[in-house]
Amino acid sequence: MPDRKGDSEPMSDQTVILSVSELTLAIRGVLESAFRGVWVRGEISNFVVAASGHYYFTLKDASAQLKAVCFRSAQRRTLFQPRNGQEVLAFGKVSVYEPRGEYQLIVEELQDYGLGRLMQAFEQLKSRLQQKGYFDPARKKPLPMLPARVGVVTSPTGAAIRDILQVMARRSSSVQVLIFPVRVQGEGAAAEIAAGIRYFDRRGGVDVLIVGRGGGSLEDLWAFNEEIVAEALHECRIPVISAVGHEVDFTIADFVADVRAPTPSAAAELVAAASAELARRVDTARNGLRRSLARILEGHRHRLAQLRSRSGFASFGWRLQTLGQRVDELELRLRGARQRRQALDQNRLALLSQRLGAANPCLRVQVLSHRWRLAGQALESSLLGMLSKRRNGWELLRQSLASLNPRRVLERGYALCLDERGQVVRSYRQLDPGQEVQVLLREGLLDCRVEDSRPDAWPKQNNSTG
């Protein structure tokens, strides 16, 4: 073909001819030397996790795209799970994938570009609210000692509300829980959370408020970092517990609320702890009351013992105690006599045993033992007879004392006549006709008037027949 302007020069003996592999390798060397460590910002698309664990995806913006690979060994620096549509910062080197002749970014580190912007916004809002006094400890309200009703602003289907209800049912079942259902993430969630806080603050009727949700990423918890929620918490007149995420998670709501709980379950424990503290105080007061009553009762017992010890009340009991003491004395004497007799006999037995020595004293010992038993029985019988005699004498004394009781005479059908001064009437001469007397019977008292008095010893018999 004829030469045309712009066509390549004809080959010569010095012309270098490269294979595709050689050219691709050369391009790879140039790219890796020029772009050894670069940061690239773009949106992830076509994200695939291979069986080997490597990430394959495309970084793109409005006008270009770049193939990228993140090998499994480099993923330890990635603190999140990449997903399609996520804007990221990727650090690595540009190389060539030789089998397809495509250049690609070999990623050594991935960062969530959106997360960085959120953290910046978080710190800015935190600084601004701190300057406005939203975090001032002086404005923190204490939790009530014994809440009767607890308001909860959270998702009605999340794990947080289940944890709160389980703890409240176990620790303080009498507390009523009111739920304001809201979305806790996504567009519009912050406005719903703020509306729930203002609803309870405006409505009243609850003693403490729990605002929170379960754990999640920073994006998931972002609704609790919105200024509208912080303002609602700052203006709320009800004590508020913030319970967002896990113990390591912190949100703006945690700083503004009156109390921060690491988890929703811990928030419920804080509410129930007040009830447990009151129960402890009630137990302490109950124990103090018991001790006071015991001291009062002991004082009354001492007073009763003093009253019983007075002669007018305890004369009869003292007599019984004296006789009982006498019986105890005789028993002790009997016991001492038996012990002395036994000791004496044992000494005699020992003496006889020594005298007999090597001889066989079995018969003599048996005789002496028999005599000793008879003597002991006789002594015991004599002392028991004496004791029985003493007891019979005490019983006669007791019966004599009882027979002298005037009411025992009345029980046999007699009556006791008393004059107007309450003196016993023993003669008809003490009374005049018309004078009033009282007659004391076995059962009851008669008020009578004297119609006549005479010296007859017995009333005349009425022998009239009907």
Q: pLDDT tens for residues 347-388? A: 888 887 777 665 565 766 777 888 888 888 888 888 888 888
CA 107 to each of CA 11, 103, 257, 432: distance values in angstroms, whole numbers, following the listed order: 41, 13, 42, 139
Domains of the chain by residue range:
20-116, 132-277, 318-356+363-403, 410-449
Q: In CATH, which of 3.40.1360.10, 3.40.50.2300, 3.90.1150.10, 3.40.50.11540 is domain 132-277?
A: 3.40.50.2300
| pLDDT band of 465, cuts 50, 70, 90 | very low
List, for residues 273-306, the tens digit of each pLDDT value. Answer: 766 666 677 778 888 888 888 888 888 888 877 7
Closest by CA position to 422, among listed 436, 412, 410, 433:
436
Assign residue 67 a region: left if phi > 0, alpha if psi is -120 to 50, beta otherwise?
A: beta
Closest by CA position to 123, among listed 288, 252, 269:
252
* Cα angle: 219, vertex 223, 229; to 5 degrees: 155
How many angstroms separate the CA atoms of 424 and 426, rounded? Answer: 6
Tokens at 455, concatenated: 């010296």
* pLDDT average, residue stretch 301-323: 68
Q: Is 64 helix (H, G, I), strand (E, B) or coil?
A: coil
Mean pLDDT for the chain overall: 83
> Could you tell me if 330 and 324 are in contact, meaning their C-beta atoms sit under 8 angstroms apart?
no
Strands 55-60 and 65-70 turn out to be antiparallel
Q: Which residues pair with 105 in a beta bridge?
A: 68, 94
Angle between helical axes of 227-235 and 113-131 (0-180°, round to 10): 30
* pLDDT average, residue stretch 385-396: 88
Q: How many CB atoms lie within 10 A of CB 276?
A: 12
The pLDDT > 90 percentage for the chain reads 21
Q: What is the DSSP string of 65-133?
A: EEEEEE-GGGGGG--S---TT-EEEEEEEEEEETTTTEEEEEEEEEEEHHHHHHHHHHHHHHHHHHHTT
Output the CATH code of domain 20-116: 2.40.50.140
Chain center to CA of 322: 57
Q: How much is the pLDDT for 313? A: 58
DSSP class of 7: P
Q: Computed over its alpha carbons, how large is the radius of gyration of the chain?
A: 56
Q: Where are the alpha helices (DSSP H) in 132-186?
A: 159-171
